[in-house]
Amino acid sequence: MFEKKVKDLLGNALEAHPSLFLIDFSIDSNYGIKVILDGDNGVTVEDCIAISRGIEHNLDREEQDFSLEVASCGAAAPLTLKRQYVKNLSRKLEVKLNSGETINGTLIQVLDDAIVLEWKAREPKPIGKGKVTVNKTKEIAFSDINKASVMIIFN
Q: In terms of domains, do 86 and 68 share one? A: no
The total domain count for the chain is 2
Boundary (domain end) residue, out of 72, 99, 130? 72
Average pLDDT over residues 113-122: 95
CA–CA dist 61, 66 (Å, integer): 7
Q: Would you say residue 51 has pLDDT above 80?
A: yes
The answer to whether residue 77 sits within a structural domain is no
- The pLDDT assigned to 154 comes to 79
pTM of the model: 0.80
Q: In terms of domains, do 6 and 38 share one? A: yes
Q: pLDDT tens-digit profile of 68-81?
A: 999 998 877 899 99
The answer to whether residue 103 sits within a structural domain is yes
The answer to whether residue 125 sits within a structural domain is yes
Q: Would you say residue 150 has pLDDT above 90?
A: yes
Q: In terms of domains, do 59 and 10 share one? A: yes
Q: Would you say residue 64 has pLDDT above 80?
A: yes
- The pLDDT assigned to 85 comes to 96
Question: With the C-alpha atoms ordered 131, 137, 141, 143, is the resulting torsion angle positive or negative?
Answer: positive
The residue range of the domain holding 126 is: 82-150
The answer to whether residue 86 sits within a structural domain is yes
Boundary (domain end) residue, out of 72, 103, 119? 72
Nearest alpha-carbon partner for 2 in 58, 50, 74: 58
Give strand ranges (E) for 16-130.
20-27, 32-39, 67-72, 92-97, 102-110, 114-124
CATH number, domain containing residue 66: 3.30.300
